[in-house]
Structure 1
Amino acid sequence: MFKYTYKTKGTCSSKIELELDGNIVRNVTFTGGCPGNLQAIPQLVEGMTVEEVVKRIKGIKCGVKNTSCGDQLAIACLEAYEKSKQA
């Protein structure tokens, strides 16, 4: 299991922690942000591949912001996957 912490940019949440089992996303937690969304998102992506998470939520915006917690999670998954291949 590869554990990764990502500092978010441009969202109400400040941090995303996740684990990868190969390219499978596990145990996502957010720090800060809208409680309902940040409880739902981890449950929805649990067990998905990094590629599927990116396909489904990368590029989603929150209001007038250029990003969202979902978009930041997709970015975090991509970064984590790249770093896991170097570990």
Structure 2
Amino acid sequence: MFVYKTKGVCATEIHIDVENSIIKNVNFVRGCAGNLIALSTLVNGMNIDEAIDKLKGIECGTKGTSCPDQLSKALDEYKKLV
């Protein structure tokens, strides 16, 4: 399991399981439960690169980031390690 510490959002961490470049499981610690469960469900089974492309740059209000954007950053970091 890869753990990513988020920046600028309500969720404090993202826990990610990946197998052969396919996202198997995503769990957010804290944050807006309903939205984050939906986001996790939508990306499960998705290729890492596809998820990054779809989520990168999504903003929440004036924060300059969002939980989906933070997930794309987490996946980018994961890719650098494998």
TM-score, normalized by length of structure 2?
Answer: 0.95
Alignment of 1:38-77 (within 5 A): 38-77=36-75
Distance 1:32 1:81 in 2: 24
State the distance in 2 between where 1:25 and 1:60 align.
Answer: 19
Structure 2 gaps of 5+ residues are: none
Q: Deviations over 1:30-72 (max 9, x none)?
A: 0011111111000000011111001111100001110000000
* Bigger fraction of residues in strand: 1
> CA shift at 1:82, angstroms?
1.7
Work out the CA distance in 1 between the residues paired with 2:27 and 2:46: 15
**Which structure has the higher relative contact order (CA within 8 Å, separation 6+)?**
1
Which of the residues 17, 25, 28 maps onto 1:19?
A: 17
Runs of 4+ in 1 over 6 A off after TM superposition: none
Q: Could you tell me which amino acid in structure 2 is paired with residue 48 of structure 1?
A: M
TM-score (norm 1): 0.90
Q: Which runs of 5+ in 1 are unaligned?
A: none
In structure 1, give the amino acid aligned to 2:40.
P
> Could you tell me the percent identity over the aligned residues?
44
One-letter amino acid matched to 1:63 = G
